[in-house]
Chains A and B, each alone.
Chain A
Amino acid sequence: MPDFVQRVSAKNELVPEWASQEVSTGTTIMAVEYDGGVVIGADSRTTTGAYIANRVTDKLTQIHERIYCCRSGSAADTQAIADVVTYQLGFHSIELDEPPLVETAANLFKASCYRYREELTAGILVAGWDKRKGGQVYCVPIGGMLVRQPVSVGGSGSTYIYGFMDSNYKPGMTKDKCMELTATALSLAMERDGSSGGVVRLASISEEGVERRVILGNELPRFSTH
């Protein structure tokens, strides 16, 4: 993908290097299941090369009433895929006359991401609540794999928090503990990863509905190394 970009764009001294690069959500995203729903979170930084194109991005995109996806990778690719799946799922739901299953949404993402795996750069977490299986998190990384996990992290910043997640996640946590865990994990990743930053966007999805929250930069938890 990067090679293709450099060949095609007309290089002009007056246009800086980063302006001709593709917009990428170098990112940290996370999703956690709890009994009764899911908590999802993301940072808010979108970059074109070294420039932050949007410092307040909303990477938590609604696919259906109680199904969200967290986007990482190329901004254009993930926005396009999310639009396509929103349409497909909406149509499917109307046909069924029933709210769709999270597993269906995840499979639709997988279908697009796998079929066009050579052309796309998209790492997506699909999370939501449905009546059949309650809160679920599905991971669809680059390449188009699909796997359900109780907790999943993604994006460039995720590498810095695998250890934190492995030691701090316990099954059977309450919603508030999950929110706290997500906010802390994202803050840690944003500290270390240059492509993640801005604010922390959180959402909790359950039978009652969707509750969204923003934690501003100065309200984020701080850590002792500095």
Chain B
Amino acid sequence: MALSNLLEIPAAGFNFDNATRNAALEGLFEGQKPKPMKTGTTIAGVVFKDGVILAADTRATSGEVVADKMCDKIHYIAPNIYCCGAGTAADTGKTTDLVASNLAIFSLNSGRNPRVIMAVNILQDMLYRYRGQIGANLILGGVDCTGNHLYTVGPYGSVNTMPYLSMGSGDLAALGILEDGFKPNMELEEAKQLVRVAIHAGIMSDLGSGHNIDICVITRQGVDHNRPYQESEYKDNRKVNYRYRPGTTTILTEKVVPLKLELVQETVQQMETA
């Protein structure tokens, strides 16, 4: 049975079969059904003089439990384009992978570097087609031959472009900092400080955001993806090593049963290493 499943090649694209299964199983859970992993998140982006900075926290939650403390929310799209994702973790990850693949193929076919607006158009088309069922709130930033760009794409396929943006459950906290501190044509250090404080505000004020701050600086010269840019002050001192010395649990009895094996057949195959 297991073998026949392995041989089956899954159909390309998204598969919503599990949605019908979930609907059928709903009755069995008596209101305690498991929640999908969401990146209850603070993500932000800022356009500065020489490029774009994207920043994100690193907490991924599944209901009230932190599922991942070091989640990477800044996804690679192209050498000059990165994307922060908020919403359902699986949706943001897979959607950005799809766009990255599409743009890589385009690059190879045309010999050109991809432009940020291309990623935006592909995402907008796709998310609009799925009518909000893909829970992806994305902030795309990048530098291309037409300049420094920052866009946000919503789950229903609406696009906004602004010099500073924030999304996720902590977006109001971050936006307050950005609205107050943003100036056009900031220097690199100034802009890094601004996004750092913005994400920090989200981490402090929002339960769905926390742990470290990652940033990604994109300029014409290249990309600097700092992970983590700032570590959380609240680190736990738990030992990750759970190996116990022999005898920690008292041994009551010991019984040794030798396994009698009989050599039935011996074959030798020469390995061709020529």
Chain A residues with CB under 8 Å of chain B are 4-5, 8-10, 12-16, 19, 22-23, 46, 48, 51, 53-54, 56-57, 74-76, 79-80
Binds A, one of B104-112, B156-164, B217-225, B255-263: B156-164
* Separation of A5 and B154 alpha carbons in the complex (Å): 14
Given contacts A51-B172, A76-B154, contact A10 B159 (CB under 8 A): no
Binds A, one of B32-40, B93-101, B192-200: B32-40
Q: Which residue of B lies closest to A24 (CB)?
A: B158
- In angstroms, how far is the closest chain B Cβ from the Cβ of A71? 11
- In angstroms, how far is the closest chain A Cβ from the Cβ of B37? 10
* Separation of A201 and B135 alpha carbons in the complex (Å): 32
Cross-chain contact A56 with B162 (CB below 8 angstroms): yes
Cross-chain contact A5 with B132 (CB below 8 angstroms): yes
Taking a contact as CB atoms closer than 8 A, the residue among B35, B64, B124, B169 that contacts A79 in the complex is: B124
Q: Which residue of A lies closest to B137 (CB)?
A: A19
CB-defined contacts of B61 to chain A, threshold 8 Å: 12, 14
Taking a contact as CB atoms closer than 8 A, the residue among A4, A9, A19, A76 that contacts B158 in the complex is: A76
CB-defined contacts of B169 to chain A, threshold 8 Å: 14-16, 19
Cross-chain contact A14 with B207 (CB below 8 angstroms): yes
Cross-chain contact B88 with A76 (CB below 8 angstroms): no
* Separation of A14 and B208 alpha carbons in the complex (Å): 6
CB-defined contacts of B158 to chain A, threshold 8 Å: 23, 46, 74-76, 79
* Separation of A9 and B128 alpha carbons in the complex (Å): 15
Pick the most buried of B38, B135, B156, B208: most chain A CB atoms within 10 A of its CB. B156
Cross-chain contact A57 with B160 (CB below 8 angstroms): yes
Q: Which residue of B lies closest to A19 (CB)?
A: B169
Cross-chain contact B133 with A8 (CB below 8 angstroms): yes
* Separation of A74 and B159 alpha carbons in the complex (Å): 12
Q: Which residue of A lies closest to B209 (CB)?
A: A14
Instruction: List 8 additional contacts besides A12-B40, A14-B169; criterion CB under 8 Å.
Output: A14-B207, A19-B137, A23-B158, A46-B158, A48-B154, A53-B154, A74-B156, A79-B124
Q: Which bucket holds chain B's interface residue count?
A: 20 to 34
Q: Which residue of B lies closest to A5 (CB)?
A: B132
Nearest 7 A/B pairs, CB to CB:
A75-B158, A14-B208, A76-B156, A14-B40, A76-B157, A76-B158, A23-B158
Given contacts A51-B172, A79-B124, contact A10 B154 (CB under 8 A): no
CB-defined contacts of B208 to chain A, threshold 8 Å: 14-15
- In angstroms, how far is the closest chain A Cβ from the Cβ of B52? 18
* Separation of A54 and B153 alpha carbons in the complex (Å): 12
- In angstroms, how far is the closest chain A Cβ from the Cβ of B19? 9
Q: Which residue of B lies closest to A56 (CB)?
A: B162
Given contacts A15-B208, A76-B154, A80-B128, contact A9 B135 (CB under 8 A): yes
* Separation of A53 and B132 alpha carbons in the complex (Å): 16
Given contacts A51-B172, A54-B162, A76-B128, contact A23 B154 (CB under 8 A): yes
CB-defined contacts of A74 to chain B, threshold 8 Å: 156, 158
* Separation of A15 and B131 alpha carbons in the complex (Å): 19
Cross-chain contact A23 with B135 (CB below 8 angstroms): no
CB-defined contacts of A46 to chain B, threshold 8 Å: 158, 160
* Separation of A80 and B128 alpha carbons in the complex (Å): 8
Cross-chain contact A14 with B38 (CB below 8 angstroms): yes
6 of the cross-chain contacts (CB-CB < 8 Å) are A4-B131, A12-B40, A14-B206, A14-B207, A15-B208, A75-B154
Q: Which residue of B lies closest to A10 (CB)?
A: B36
Cross-chain contact B124 with A15 (CB below 8 angstroms): no
Chain A CB within 8 A of B79 CB: no
Given contacts A16-B169, A23-B154, A54-B160, contact A10 B135 (CB under 8 A): yes
Given contacts A22-B132, A56-B162, A79-B124, contact A12 B38 (CB under 8 A): yes
CB-defined contacts of B207 to chain A, threshold 8 Å: 14
* Separation of A12 and B169 alpha carbons in the complex (Å): 11
Chain A CB within 8 A of B63 CB: yes
Cross-chain contact B40 with A23 (CB below 8 angstroms): no
CB-defined contacts of B160 to chain A, threshold 8 Å: 46, 53-54, 57
